[in-house]
């Protein structure tokens, strides 16, 4: 007996589905099958095993592609009566119900390689992502192979997961620090980034455009000029005392007071880093900020990073724009 392979004679991308004949005459069937040489790419059948298999097989008509349930038709390239047995087995294996199948795009072979002795393993090896799963055994039911499923729900589920993974990849490129491989941490990063951006919008609308007038009136600092610098210093010191007083009563009100002025708390180390990084020439004000940080530093560790923008309002009057965080 010849172990022939079933290969598509044409390079169609869509996998071919099997039609399940209920009864057929082997020789007739095979002759009909082999007589039409080029495999039509859109030759499909509907899911129910047609009772009149002969007529439907003869010249296998082309049905419209139903991407949800199909049964592939598999061209036999070898004219071998011995294959009929395997073919029959294969067909009956595929006959049960619908094989929902999603057309994989680049499946250059929906190839069902069927050899005489290695039917099952080869069928396993050759299935594409859609997962035609029937083990060609003699039982008519389609049994799910390990790792695959023929259930339409699981196919949909897999599809859905693929879509989500795809989008996650594109999101990964957007979010900075998106090199996490773990899905959960990646999602957390995304969420944090969205929160951060929203907070940035809020702070930006608060710091300059919203509170500019009030901030500049309360903290009378100005660029250049030693007079103004000293007055700026005293104003800052006053603010500092005020905040210290407020903090004894209630942290929330202290924060609100600061926020109203467009300021924030930050740890000293951070402040020094930023000041040295952005502009080296803002000494008088920097020292004021640093001192403001001293009594508050134990609590200041909790401020979120984005408030750096707010703190820079104090110093920005001294020089030109602060670099973006």
Binding flag, residue 245, another protein (CB under 8 A)? no
SS3 (DSSP) at 148: coil
Q: Considering only residues 188, 230, 280, 301, which one is a binding residue for another protein as defined by CB under 8 A?
A: 188
Least distance to another protein, CB of residue 243, Å: 17
Q: Considering only residues 125, 191, 251, 301, which one is a binding residue for another protein as defined by CB under 8 A?
A: 191
Contact between residue 57 and residue 33 where contact means Cβ atoms under 8 Å apart: yes
Binding flag, residue 198, another protein (CB under 8 A)? yes
Residue whose tokens read 């403001």: 292
58 or 319, CB closer to another protein?
319
Residue whose tokens read 């069928």: 123
Distance between CA atoms of 114 and 194, rounded to whole angstroms?
53
37 or 174, CB closer to another protein?
174
One character per residue 130-169, x = contact with another protein (rule: CB under 8 A)? -----------------------x--xx-xxx-xx-xxx-
Query: Segment contacting another protein (CB under 8 A): 106-114, 127-135, 238-246, 315-323?
Result: 315-323
Least distance to another protein, CB of residue 289, Å: 17
- Burial (Cβ within 10 Å: 0-12, 13-18, ≥19) of residue 306: middle
Entry field: residues in the chain: 325
Binding flag, residue 184, another protein (CB under 8 A)? yes
Name the maximum alpha-carbon separation found in the chain. Answer: 108
SS3 (DSSP) at 149: coil
Binding flag, residue 173, another protein (CB under 8 A)? yes
Least distance to another protein, CB of residue 321, Å: 4
Distance between CA atoms of 105 and 135, rounded to whole angstroms?
24
Distance between CA atoms of 91 and 140, rounded to whole angstroms?
9
SS3 (DSSP) at 17: strand
Binding site for another protein (CB under 8 A): 68, 153, 156-157, 159-161, 163-164, 166-168, 170-171, 173-175, 183-184, 187-188, 190-191, 193-195, 197-198, 200-202, 204-214, 222-223, 260, 316-317, 319-321, 324
């Amino acid at each position: 007996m010849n172990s022939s392979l079933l290969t598509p004679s044409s390079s169609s991308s869509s996998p071919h589905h099997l039609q399940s004949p209920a009864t057929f005459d082997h020789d007739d069937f095979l002759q009909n099958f082999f007589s039409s040489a080029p495999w039509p790419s859109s030759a499909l059948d509907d899911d129910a095993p047609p009772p009149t298999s002969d007529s439907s097989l003869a010249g296998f008509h082309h049905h419209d592609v139903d991407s949800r349930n199909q049964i592939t038709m598999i061209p036999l390239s070898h004219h071998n009566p011995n294959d009929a047995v395997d073919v029959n087995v294969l067909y009956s294996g595929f006959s049960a119900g619908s094989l929902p199948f999603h057309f994989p795009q680049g499946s250059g072979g929906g190839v069902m390689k069927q050899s005489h002795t290695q039917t099952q393993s080869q069928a396993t090896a050759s299935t594409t992502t859609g997962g035609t799963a029937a083990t060609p055994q003699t039982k008519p039911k389609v049994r799910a192979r390990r790792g695959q499923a023929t259930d339409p729900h699981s196919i949909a589920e897999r599809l859905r997961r693929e879509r989500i993974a795809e989008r996650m990849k594109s999101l990964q490129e957007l979010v900075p620090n998106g090199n996490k491989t773990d899905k959960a941490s990646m999602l957390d990063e995304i969420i944090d980034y969205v929160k951060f951006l929203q907070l940035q919008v809020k702070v930006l609308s608060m710091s300059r455009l919203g509170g500019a007038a009030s901030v500049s009136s309360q903290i009378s600092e100005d660029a250049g000029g030693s007079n103004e610098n000293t007055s700026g210093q005293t104003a800052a010191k006053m603010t500092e005392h005020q905040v210290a007083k407020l903090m004894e009563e209630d942290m929330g009100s202290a924060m609100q007071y600061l926020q109203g002025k467009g300021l924030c708390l930050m740890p000293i180390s951070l402040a020094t880093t930023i000041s040295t990084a952005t502009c080296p020439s803002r000494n008088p004000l920097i020292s004021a900020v640093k001192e403001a940080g001293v009594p508050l530093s134990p609590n200041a560790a909790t401020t979120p990073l984005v408030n750096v923008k707010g703190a820079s309002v104090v110093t920005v009057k001294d020089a030109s724009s602060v670099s973006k965080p």
